[in-house]
Amino acid sequence: MKKAGVAILGLGVVGGGTYQILTEKREYFKKTQGVDLTVENVLEKNVDRAFSLGIDRSVIASSIEEVCSNPNVDIVVEVIGGIEPAKTFVTKALKSGKTVVTSNKELFAKHWTELEAEAKKMHAGLFFEASCVGGVPIIRALQEGMQANKILSIKGIINGTTNYILTKMAYEGSSYEEALKEAQRLGYAEFNPTADVEGFDATYKLSILSSLAFNKKICIENVYREGITGIDKEDIAYGKEMGYTLKLLGIGKDTENGVEVRVHPTFIKNSDPLASVNDSFNAVHLVGDAVGEIMLYGRGAGALPTGSAIVSDVIFAAKHDRYFYANFENNKKGNKETKFVSDFTSKYYIRLSVADKAGVLAKISGVFAKSGLSINEVRQVAGFEGEAQIIIVTHLCGEGQVKKTLEKLKALPEVFAIKGTIRMED
């Protein structure tokens, strides 16, 4: 039976869940996987946290050097989060020849190139299943289950915090601020929620996933990013009336014109499988040229779901003597030959606050016509006295084309404000 010693760096929510799975299921893994996994070290500043998990003092390391010099440690699990000290710790572990398993999407998205180079140099493993979509095994599916396909697109709800907030706004009529407070109370959102609500977290994940899907290094700088802080519950309600659900999506497409990667709020039809993914759940929809459509769904965060992904990597590493690295040119700034589409096409939902008088709609339609934008649907909703809400849904059009049109609309004295602009995916 193969044996492997594990060290866990960080005993927060995910680290604690990982420790729980490794210790409680040790006999189960011996029986079903043929591996004996033992926790040889933990590195945690809060010693009381370690004691609360039943960890013996002899297992608690005082430094990363102690972990790296421990001959009984084969696999180092990093669940600290952020860049430092995680990057220093992971680099030291790799330099010492230890295999690393990480859930740190920011670290991996920003420093994948350097970490992989170090792993290759030392013939060590570098695993990151838990960095994207919690307990959903999306990375292993891309690396080992979809090789027969050229993946044409990847589209997903890959941040649980924003999905919870948008669900509350859609089903309970909560404002963004109310839904955020509730998410913070339940532990879905941090005290400083910027990484989630501004789309940074989803951007890191899309960078990793689209790189694997398209076999090209996609840097975070290549990903268009827009968060949910500007979303109004009125737009969600109007979209609902029109048969659409609002989600923060990560969208990647490998097209003839180039690679398109973007994170932003998106209206999708209620019939889209992603529309029924609510609360903190995540899902990823893939399209392969041979297999067609595939969707993976599950918990996108949490102690045990994320711990599940980490332990899956630990077991894989313990059972395999050879490791696999990126099958594309993993340059820090990507490949110069890769073309990116910045002026992507989409349908658009546009809500305007306008003067409630004759001729206004004709003027607005004239601006769209002169800009070459085709209107698919128009709705007018009563507003306050002297004001009306006009909702316009366009046919497919370019991002740059829409931005120029919005500037022209702002110049009309009859247009008081552009209340909402949301892309739509069929």
Chain segment 332-384, per-residue pLDDT in tens: 888 888 999 989 999 999 999 999 999 999 999 999 999 999 999 999 987 77
* Closest C-alpha among 384, 415, 397, 376 to residue 242: 376
Supply the pLDDT for residue 309: 96
Report the CATH number of the 2-134 domain: 3.40.50.720
Supply the pLDDT for residue 335: 85
Supply the pLDDT for residue 261: 98
Q: How many other C-beta atoms can be found within 10 angstroms of the C-beta atom of residue 289?
A: 10
Mean pLDDT of 59-84: 97
Which CATH superfamily is 345-425 part of?
ACT domain (3.30.70.260)
pLDDT per residue as tens digits for the range 79-108 = 999 999 999 999 999 999 999 999 999 999
**CA dihedral of 162, 307, 91, 115, whole degrees rounded to 10:** -60
User: Nearest 5 degrees, angle CA 126-CA 301-CA 75?
Assistant: 25
Mean pLDDT of 278-301: 95
User: Percentage of residues in the chain with pLDDT exceeding 90?
Assistant: 91
pLDDT per residue as tens digits for the range 201-254 = 999 999 999 999 999 999 999 999 999 999 999 999 999 999 999 999 999 999
Supply the pLDDT for residue 180: 96
**Annotation marks residue 98 as catalytic:** no
CA 349, distance to chain mean position in Å, is 24
User: Looking at 98, 105, 168, 205, which residue is catalytic?
Assistant: 205
Supply the pLDDT for residue 169: 97
- What whole-number distance in Å separates Cα of residue 153 and Cα of residue 252? 6
Supply the pLDDT for residue 381: 85
Q: Is it the case that residue 136 has pLDDT exceeding 80?
A: yes
Supply the pLDDT for residue 203: 98
- What whole-number distance in Å separates Cα of residue 53 and Cα of residue 208? 32
User: Percentage of residues in the chain with pLDDT exceeding 70?
Assistant: 100
Mean pLDDT of 36-59: 96
Supply the pLDDT for residue 332: 87
Q: Which CATH class is domain 150-298?
A: alpha beta
Mean pLDDT for the chain? 95
Domain boundaries along the sequence of the chain = 2-134, 150-298, 345-425
Q: Is it the case that residue 395 has pLDDT exceeding 90?
A: yes
Mean pLDDT of 303-321: 95
Supply the pLDDT for residue 9: 98
Supply the pLDDT for residue 194: 96
Supply the pLDDT for residue 275: 97
Mean pLDDT of 308-321: 96
Q: Is it the case that residue 413 has pLDDT exceeding 80?
A: yes
